Structures are given as C-alpha cells and as structure tokens.
Amino acid sequence: MKSVLLMTGIACMMISGCHSATGPAVVTPPEGVVVYSNSFESAADTAGWKLQCEFSLRQDVPPGGGRQSVYVSGGCFYPHSQLDLSGFTDSHQLALTCWGKSIPGGVVSLKVIPGSEGVPSSVSMPIHDSVWTYHRSFQTVTTYPGCRLRLEMNSGGIAEGGMFIDRIEIIKIQ
C-alpha cells in the first residue's frame, strides 16, 4: 500500500511539474519594495539621466516591456549614462534587476556614493546575451542615511558597443 501511495505521489509531482512553453519565459522579480523603476516608454523617462554617448528609445522590448526600451551605445568616456538618486534616510540592502540584450554588450551598475568601509558599495551585471534576458544582481549594496545611489549603464568603452535595457528596477531586500 505504501508503495502505491509513493508511486502515485511521484506521478502527481511529475505531471504537475511539466508544462509546455509557447512563448518567452516570464520571470517573477524578487519580492521587495521597488525603490526605482523605469521601462523607458517616453522621453520623460530619460529625465535626470546624464548622458555622454547615444542613449535613445527603441521599439525593441522584452516580455512585458511595453512599447520601448533604451539603447545605450559606447564610443565615448565612462560613464556612458548615469542617474543619481538621493534622499535615503535609513540603511537598506538593495538589489538591481533589469532585462538586457547586447550588441555586443555592456554593464549595468549600482553604486553607493560615497561607499562605506567593509560594506559592498557597488554591484554590476554584465549584459552579454544577444536575446532579451532577465538579470538580477547576486550581491546587494547597503544604503545609509544621507548617501546617494548612482545607476550607470556602459557599453563598449571608448570603442563602439551597444545594448538594450528595459524594466530596470532597484529593489529593497531588507
């Protein structure tokens, strides 16, 4: 009797774990409070970004990405694009997520300015896939009262490069 129950249980797990995918995978972002979010749907979504290279809206988007993403190109000095965020009154651990696609690639980074001794002060995510891919930083950065965050997108260094970014979020983990 026990073996029949065991086999039935295993069969149920196998059946419930199988499904067919008819489209791109949809990734559920980590739980937490969103501190910053941008899907780059209009020129207003680029307000506040300091730009050194090409930073343009394009109609190439990931799953759930709306109508547009941002294209960041290299060929100039770092940082190619940056956004500073301030107003932090407490200490929190933050993670960075986004969808990215490379031509040939780049890096999305989140930095605490100025960093604290002994606490991770930056996280970076390389964007190197030629198809839309969900990215999440493995590490977190820790804010403290009065600090600033700098979100950067760089692609190609002084040499020409390029990447698409969409659905970028900074998420409070703790």
* Tens-digit pLDDT profile for residues 22-68: 333 333 444 568 989 999 999 999 888 887 777 888 999 999 989 99
pLDDT surpasses 50 at 14: no
- Which CATH number is correct for 33-172, 2.40.50.140, 2.60.120.260, 2.60.210.10, 3.40.605.10? 2.60.120.260
**Cα separation, 23 vs 62, whole angstroms:** 12
Spatial CB neighbours of 100, under 8 Å, sequence gap ≥ 6: 106, 108, 125, 127, 129, 132, 133, 135, 163, 164, 165, 166
**Cα separation, 103 vs 35, whole angstroms:** 28
Tell me, what's the pLDDT at 83? Answer: 93
Residue 4 tokens read as 């029949």
More confident residue, 102 or 51: 102
pLDDT surpasses 70 at 95: yes
**Cα separation, 162 vs 158, whole angstroms:** 12
Could you report the per-residue pLDDT of 112-144, keeping only the tens digit for each?
A: 987 655 565 899 999 999 999 999 998 999 888
Could you report the per-residue pLDDT of 148-168, keeping only the tens digit for each?
A: 899 999 887 766 778 999 999
**Cα separation, 53 vs 77, whole angstroms:** 8
The lowest-confidence range among 22-26, 69-73, 74-78, 156-160 is 22-26
Tell me, what's the pLDDT at 5? Answer: 32
Domain boundaries, the chain: 33-172
pLDDT surpasses 50 at 18: no
Instruction: Report the Cα–Cα distance between both ends of the chain, in Å, rounded.
Output: 47
